[in-house]
Chains A and B, each alone.
Chain A
Amino acid sequence: GAGVSQSPRYKVTKRGQDVALRCDPISGHVSLYWYRQALGQGPEFLTYFNYEAQQDKSGLPNDRFSAERPEGSISTLTIQRTEQRDSAMYRCASSPTWNEQYFGPGTRLTVT
């Protein structure tokens, strides 16, 4: 079956613009997670959902970052008024239960 998909795969935007990153989890997976990965580092947790409920958003760096999963399936991570420090790989993962997480290919965001 299809794995986790993310779009776009690459996004270049100018400083100050808003961006929306999309994650389509594996069908039927209850939990969905967002991570951010800087070059040469491991991914860092941003937020996660069980169904449509956002359970933990402690990793969101500031109030320019928000995420939603309105129907308990597809999720969108939105970054408002982007800054150069937001440039990173944004990764999404899904999980059927409190167990193994399956990652998508990521979205490479570059803010110029």
Chain B
Amino acid sequence: KQEVTQIPAALSVPEGENLVLNCSFTDSAIYNLQWFRQDPGKGLTSLLLIQSSQREQTSGRLNASLDKSSGRSTLYIAASQPGDSATYLCAVWDAGGTSYGKLTFGQGTILTVHP
């Protein structure tokens, strides 16, 4: 059974810092990995999707890397801003079997960026 772990559980930083969120998964047979942002009272917003054949994806100040063999992904946020404060969730899409489409999520990292 796939298990996804995110470290740290919470992070508080001053505005302007570069930061790294970590995600690890136990089964490397994945189809893709997706990073989401969750704001209170709202849905999940997809930030980046990395296919299993890719090693990284970039969008603006966000960069996500994937090392499938070691079961790790990192989300790098450059020059953090107070508006980045949210919960960040990592999810993997298992390959094979009947579980196509099933995302397994980590528990999330709660990020607070202070002005």
Contact = CB atoms under 8 A, between A and B. Distances in A.
Interface of A: 3-4, 31, 33, 35, 40-45, 48, 50, 55-56, 58-59, 91, 93, 95, 98-106
A43 B46 contact: no
B19 interface: no
Contacts, number: 71
Interface of B: 4, 31-32, 34, 36, 41-46, 49, 89, 91, 93, 98-108
15 contacts: A33-B102, A35-B105, A40-B107, A42-B107, A45-B102, A50-B101, A56-B102, A58-B99, A59-B102, A98-B31, A99-B49, A101-B101, A102-B46, A103-B46, A105-B41
A94 B105 CA distance: 16
A48 B93 CA distance: 13
B5 to A, nearest CB: 10
Given A42-B91, A42-B106, A42-B107, A104 B43 contact: yes
Contact of B101 (A43, A55, A91): A55
